[in-house]
């Protein structure tokens, strides 16, 4: 395991002892009660005697509605939109938390964010990350087994939960889940097209366009769009496919190439770029748009591609002034 446990263990252990009368092995695991039987008895007594503070049902409704609607008002115009909350999109969003003045919206079509990064290859649990992407895991305080050239996180969900927590806690980032990006906001700028935002709808509406009469979407304007919608599929690679249909990318997307871990991971990071003014490709959508190899179940490129996309976005924002 990496050394973070040791580095932070003592500090938190003292805090935990002070508040809980506990003995913790490290900051990365739960506090261990010094007298487990007494701890359990105390907890059960608490649950048996506790009562929630009263609330009106309408208060709950108003809290949710007013917050969501005011966030939709606030994010009608934003600095960066990230399409897709998979490993690349979330790594991008996390990196942007280092710039608290930049307003970031993540749009994820699924109810659950995380994309394909809740499991490793073939639905197995662990996640292999090639160095130097382990430095990102250190930053997120995700523990791993160091195997020399690569590291192994015991469960991919540990990475996804950690990057989600550190991202969502930041005040400059808002995740809109169950929201699909149906199209791009594209402007003709001289002889080029520029992407200036996204066209959105609630995913349940998007899924029912064939069964109901017309249900219009709405628009979120953005100075920069990072698209990280993953592999081609019913929704995946959606920005690449749309740009191809508009003629902004060459006809006949190359699609991802055959599996070669060694070339693919480097290529995805290198080819993470602003392909169309205002739009950056990240994660596996890069290989769909640019034709580099797939890498199979090694996730380092997703993490670093997302981080690179964030830094490109900051550069573009600075350029725009
Ligand atoms: C066929 C297949 C092959 C795979 N091969 C590889 C491989 O070669 N290498 C590899 O690393 N991994 C592979 N994986 C696993 C996995 O997809 C990736 O590792 C990793 O999750 C990709 O990260 P990502 O962030 O680019 O995309 P994803 O994790 O797929 O995340 C994309 C997210 O975008 C969301 N999204 C898509 N379109 C929209 C939209 N229009 N609006 C809003 N949200 C949207 C999706 O719901 C999803 O949450 C493969 C998976 C499949 C199914």
- Give the angle subtended at the CA of 313 by the CAs of 310 and 315, to the nearest 5°: 115
Q: Distance from the CA of 296 to the center of ligand 1, in angstroms?
A: 11
- Contact between 238 and 229 under an 8 Å Cβ cutoff? The reply is yes
Place of tokens 């969502």: 168
Token reading at 242: 């749309």
Token reading at 276: 């169309």
Token reading at 98: 């280092």
Closest CA to 107 of 196, 173, 158: 173
Residue nearest to atom 13 of ligand 1 (CA): 296
Token reading at 247: 């003629």
- Contact between 253 and 218 under an 8 Å Cβ cutoff? The reply is no
In sequence order, which ranges of the chain are alpha helices (DSSP H)? Answer: 4-20, 36-49, 57-74, 87-96, 134-140, 156-168, 203-206, 238-245, 261-270, 284-290, 300-320
pLDDT at 18: 40
Distances (CA, A) of 155 to 89, 120, 127, 160, 184: 19, 8, 6, 9, 35
Mutate to test the pocket of ligand 1, among 116, 200, 300 (most ligand atoms within 8 A of CB): 116
Token reading at 29: 């695991």
Mutate to test the pocket of ligand 1, among 89, 181, 198, 230 (most ligand atoms within 8 A of CB): 230
Place of tokens 């060694």: 262
pLDDT at 28: 62
In sequence order, the β-bridge partners of residue 117 are none
Q: Distance from the CA of 204 to the center of ligand 1, in angstroms?
A: 20
Q: Distance from the CA of 162 to the center of ligand 1, in angstroms?
A: 18
pLDDT at 233: 79
Residue nearest to atom 17 of ligand 1 (CA): 116
* Ligand 1 site, CB within 6 A: 83-89, 107-110, 115-117, 180-181, 228-231, 235-236, 238, 259, 283-285, 294-296, 299, 302
| Terminal Cα-to-Cα distance of the chain (whole angstroms) | 44
pLDDT at 55: 98
pLDDT (tens, 9 = 90+) of the chain, 321 residues, equals 343 333 333 333 344 434 444 343 445 678 899 999 999 999 999 999 999 999 999 999 999 999 999 999 999 999 999 999 999 999 999 999 999 999 999 999 999 999 999 999 899 999 999 999 999 999 999 999 999 999 999 999 999 999 999 999 999 999 999 999 999 999 998 888 899 999 999 999 999 998 988 899 999 999 999 999 999 877 789 999 999 999 989 899 999 999 999 999 999 999 999 999 999 999 999 999 999 999 989 999 999 999 999 999 999 999 998
Q: Distance from the CA of 274 to the center of ligand 1, in angstroms?
A: 19
Task: Report the atom number in ligand 1 closest to the C-alpha of 286.
Answer: 26
- Contact between 186 and 196 under an 8 Å Cβ cutoff? The reply is yes
Distances (CA, A) of 15 to 20, 26, 81, 297: 8, 12, 38, 38
Q: Distance from the CA of 170 to the center of ligand 1, in angstroms?
A: 24
Contacts of 51 (CB under 8 A, 6+ apart): none
3-state secondary structure (DSSP) of residue 269 = helix
Mutate to test the pocket of ligand 1, among 85, 163, 164, 229 (most ligand atoms within 8 A of CB): 229
Place of tokens 């790594």: 91
Ramachandran assignment for 141, one of left (phi > 0), alpha (psi -120 to 50 degrees), beta (any other): left
Q: Distance from the CA of 39 to the center of ligand 1, in angstroms?
A: 43
Q: Distance from the CA of 86 to the center of ligand 1, in angstroms?
A: 6
Mutate to test the pocket of ligand 1, among 198, 231, 301 (most ligand atoms within 8 A of CB): 231
pLDDT at 192: 85
pTM, rounded to two decimals: 0.90
Closest CA to 229 of 240, 218, 221: 240
């Amino acid at each position: 395991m990496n050394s973070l446990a040791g580095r932070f263990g003592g500090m938190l252990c003292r805090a935990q002892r002070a508040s809980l009368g506990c003995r913790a092995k490290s900051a990365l695991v739960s506090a261990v009660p010094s007298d487990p039987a007494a701890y359990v008895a105390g907890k059960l007594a608490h649950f048996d005697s506790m009562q929630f503070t009263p609330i009106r049902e309408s208060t709950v409704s108003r809290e949710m509605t007013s917050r969501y609607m005011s966030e939709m008002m606030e994010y009608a115009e934003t600095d960066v939109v990230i399409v897709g909350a998979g490993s690349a999109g979330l790594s991008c969003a996390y990196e942007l938390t280092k710039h608290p003045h930049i307003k970031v919206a993540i749009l994820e079509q699924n109810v659950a964010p995380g994309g394909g990064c809740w499991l490793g290859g073939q639905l197995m649990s662990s996640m292999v990350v090639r160095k130097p992407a382990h430095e990102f895991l250190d930053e997120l305080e995700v523990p791993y087994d160091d195997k020399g050239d690569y590291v192994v996180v015991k469960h991919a969900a540990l990475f996804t939960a950690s990057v989600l927590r550190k991202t969502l806690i930041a005040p400059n980032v808002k995740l809109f889940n169950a929201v699909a990006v149906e199209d791009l906001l594209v402007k003709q700028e001289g002889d080029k097209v520029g992407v200036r935002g996204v066209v959105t709808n609630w995913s349940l509406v998007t899924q029912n366009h064939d069964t109901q009469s017309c249900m219009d979407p709405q628009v979120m304007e953005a100075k920069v769009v990072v698209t990280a919608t993953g592999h081609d599929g019913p929704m995946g690679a959606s920005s690449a496919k749309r740009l191809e249909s508009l003629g902004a990318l060459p006809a006949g997307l190359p699609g991802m190439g055959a599996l070669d871990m060694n070339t693919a991971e480097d290529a995805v990071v290198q080819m993470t770029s602003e392909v169309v003014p205002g739009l950056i490709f990240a994660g596996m959508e890069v290989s769909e748009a640019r034709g580099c190899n797939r890498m199979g179940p090694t996730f380092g490129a997703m993490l670093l591609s997302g981080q690179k996309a964030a830094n490109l976005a900051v550069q573009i924002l600075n350029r725009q002034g």
